[in-house]
Amino acid sequence: MKTTFVKPTDVERKWYVVDAEGQVLGRVAARVASVLRGKHKPQFSPSQEVGDYVIVVNAGKVAVTGDKRRKKLYYWHSQYPGGLKAETFDKRIGRRPTAPLEEAIWGMLPKNRLGRKLFNNVKIYPGPEHPHQAQKPESLSL
Provide mean pLDDT across the span 54-80: 97
Q: Does the structure show a pLDDT above 80 at 105?
A: yes
Provide mean pLDDT across the span 46-68: 96
pLDDT confidence of residue 4: 76
Provide mean pLDDT across the span 74-94: 97
Provide mean pLDDT across the span 118-133: 97
The domain 13-65+96-139 having CATH identifier 3.90.1180.10: the answer here is yes
Residue 64's pLDDT band (boundaries 50, 70, 90)? very high
pLDDT over 70 for what percent of the chain? Answer: 100
Provide mean pLDDT across the span 96-111: 97
Residue 91's pLDDT band (boundaries 50, 70, 90)? very high
Domain residues of the chain, as ranges? Answer: 13-65+96-139
Q: Does the structure show a pLDDT above 80 at 1?
A: no
CB neighbours (10 Å) of residue 82? 7
Alpha helices in the chain (DSSP H): 25-37, 68-71, 89-95, 99-107, 113-119
Using only C-alpha atoms, the chain has a radius of gyration, in whole angstroms, of: 17
Question: How confident is the prediction for the chain on average, in pLDDT?
Answer: 95
Please check whether residue 59 is in contact with residue 18, taking contact to mean a CB–CB distance below 8 angstroms.
Answer: no
Provide mean pLDDT across the span 12-37: 97
pLDDT confidence of residue 35: 97
